A and B are shown apart, each in its own frame.
Chain A
Amino acid sequence: MKYTEEHEWLRVEGDLVVVGITEHAATQLGDVVFVELPETETMVAAGDEAVVIESVKAASDILAPVDGEIVEVNSKLVDNPGLVNDDPTGSAWFFKMKIDDLSVLDQFMDEDEYNDLIA
């Protein structure tokens, strides 16, 4: 698992990258009440807004961590946004991306580095 400074986790699944937010991020956001997912088969660039999440407190964006194509989204979150709080690192993934070269993930933090960031 890799981690971004935006508090996303990235998990490699075959040739795809699965993207979600960390437990720390979910706790900071508070109760999530709305999730707007991107369209599949869209090309995104690193830093593009991919997902809008609204918690009871505020709206926030989940950014595409790298360049690539959104190939699958977790539509369960639309009907059950609270899953983001209940299981942020498991069933509450947001989208899967196809990227050209998985080695671009090397730039991101590993678990120890991420834990240092949020400590």
Chain B
Amino acid sequence: MSDLLRLGLHDLHVSLGGKMVPFAGYDMPVQYPAGVMKEHIHTRTAAGLFDVSHMGQVILHPKGSMADLALVFEALMPVDVLGLAQGRQRYGLFTNDAGGILDDLMFANRGDHLFVVVNAACKHADVAHMRAHLSAVAEVEFIENRALLALQGPQAGDVLARLIPETAAMRFMDVARPLWQGTELWVSRSGYTGEDGFEISVPEARAEAFAKALLAEPEVLPIGLGARDSLRLEAGLCLYGHDIDTTTSPVEAGLTWAIQKARRAGGDRAGGFPGAPRILSELATGPARLRVGLRPDGRAPMREGTAIFSDKDESIGTITSGGFGPSVEAPVAMGYVSAPNAATGTTLLGELRGKRLPVTVTDLPFHPTSYKR
């Protein structure tokens, strides 16, 4: 355990009864005494506080204009960076030359710089990737002295507005830098649970005080990684390294909503990102396989790695995330299946403990999202 990194809020997690497990190189709370199921439901009905400080926070300071930086950053992603308004955040994907996904991320236009949040397991590679490609136009600053908290759930807005009134005016994917007791917080109205909520970057020295202030609100419970996973799975959101990786293209992954018109064929800045030939061709003619929602007909969860067969017993895919959905009250999964078998309503078979059991291709998300648009 000694080689595991400790979160700045480690002692708080332990004092809250967090069960600590290794994740992405960190010693992290997988659950608190309430347990995964109650934590999940609490987040869907009230508000949950997650410590996601393991994720990477990066600032791109432009050396020249923001537009120059945006155009060079765009060369790493099939995403419209130039068109992102000040005070707004957008979902992005670093692609490789084969059209696979190196990482998925959030980036925000904060007026005189871009703020980027990347996955924990990829953060060092992402920083190196950005330094290698952006150095001519930006200074890449890896932020290692701020915690990142997520407050998620239908009451998250009321709770945060009580502490920081100006957050009440934020809409989904807005970013702002309000003060809390004299400390600048970096707030975005976003998250990874399918619920309304916020991600809040706070200086490490003030993180425990801020987390305790949130936990003192009656609606808020601490939530571990276990419920974070079941919440994002019900919301149909991809987990990097499982549902998306260097072998899956954004089109196969069903992330075409993240590829704005400007970067598609016929757009103002079409192509010009790694893997563009494959990604543009898949946009035009459809990919060979697709990420879909899968609902096992029975009660047994089907987990990552479960093989999927057609009703003619051809092997046609694999589950990449699966488990029990506490809000759906049934097992839910997602995975890749060959395109002819990807239509909603198709009955397929998942192989579980030697038996092939029916699963139905289902629209994502499993649980409706409730973002404050």
- Are A52 and B323 in contact, CB atoms less than 8 angstroms apart? no
With a CB–CB cut-off of 8 A, which chain B residues contact A59? Answer: 301, 303
Q: What sequence of 0s and 1s flags, for each residue 296-318 of chain B, a beta carbon within 8 Å of any chain A beta carbon?
A: 00011101000000000000000
Does B353 interact with chain A (Cβ within 8 Å)? Answer: yes
- Are A36 and B300 in contact, CB atoms less than 8 angstroms apart? yes
* A window 95-109: CB within 8 A of B: none
Contact partner of A31 among B36, B299, B303, B331, CB < 8 A? B36
Does A117 interact with chain B (Cβ within 8 Å)? Answer: no
- Are B301 and A33 in contact, CB atoms less than 8 angstroms apart? yes
Please give me the 5 A-B residue pairs with the lowest Cβ-Cβ distance, nearest first.
A31-B37, A33-B324, A56-B36, A34-B300, A34-B299
Does A30 interact with chain B (Cβ within 8 Å)? Answer: yes
- Are A31 and B300 in contact, CB atoms less than 8 angstroms apart? no
Tell me if A's interface is mostly helix, strand, loop or mixed. Answer: mixed
Known: A56-B36, A56-B326, A57-B36. 12 other contacts (CB 8 A): A30-B226, A31-B35, A33-B37, A33-B324, A36-B300, A54-B300, A54-B301, A56-B323, A58-B303, A59-B301, A59-B303, A81-B299
* B window 324-350: CB within 8 A of A: 324, 326, 331
A30, A57, A58, A59 — which one has the most chain B CB atoms within 10 A of its CB? A57
Does B31 interact with chain A (Cβ within 8 Å)? Answer: yes
Tell me if B's interface is mostly helix, strand, loop or mixed. Answer: mixed
CB of A78 to closest CB in B, whole Å = 8
With a CB–CB cut-off of 8 A, which chain A residues contact B324? Answer: 33-34, 54, 56
A56 and B303 in contact, given A30-B35, A33-B324 (Cβ under 8 angstroms): no
State in angstroms the CA–CA spacing of A30 and B226 once bound together.
10
16 A-B pairs with C-beta separation under 8 A: A30-B36, A30-B37, A31-B37, A31-B326, A33-B37, A33-B299, A33-B324, A34-B300, A34-B301, A52-B300, A54-B300, A54-B324, A56-B36, A56-B37, A57-B30, A57-B226
With a CB–CB cut-off of 8 A, which chain B residues contact A52? Answer: 300, 353
CB of B22 to closest CB in A, whole Å = 14
CB of A85 to closest CB in B, whole Å = 8
State in angstroms the CA–CA spacing of A33 and B300 once bound together.
8
Number of interface residues of A (CB under 8 A): 14
A52, A54, A81, A85 — which one has the most chain B CB atoms within 10 A of its CB? A54
State in angstroms the CA–CA spacing of A78 and B300 once bound together.
10
CB of B130 to closest CB in A, whole Å = 35
With a CB–CB cut-off of 8 A, which chain B residues contact A85? Answer: 35
Q: What sequence of 0s and 1s flags, for each residue 17-59 of chain B, a beta carbon within 8 Å of any chain A beta carbon?
A: 0000000000000110001110000000000000000000000
Q: What sequence of 0s and 1s flags, for each residue 57-76 of chain A, a beta carbon within 8 Å of any chain B beta carbon?
A: 11100000000000000000
CB of A83 to closest CB in B, whole Å = 14
A30, A33, A81 — which one has the most chain B CB atoms within 10 A of its CB? A33
With a CB–CB cut-off of 8 A, which chain B residues contact A31? Answer: 35-37, 326
With a CB–CB cut-off of 8 A, which chain A residues contact B299? Answer: 33-34, 78, 81
State in angstroms the CA–CA spacing of A75 and B303 once bound together.
24
- Are A34 and B35 in contact, CB atoms less than 8 angstroms apart? no
State in angstroms the CA–CA spacing of A94 and B323 once bound together.
22
Does B89 interact with chain A (Cβ within 8 Å)? Answer: no
State in angstroms the CA–CA spacing of A31 and B37 once bound together.
6
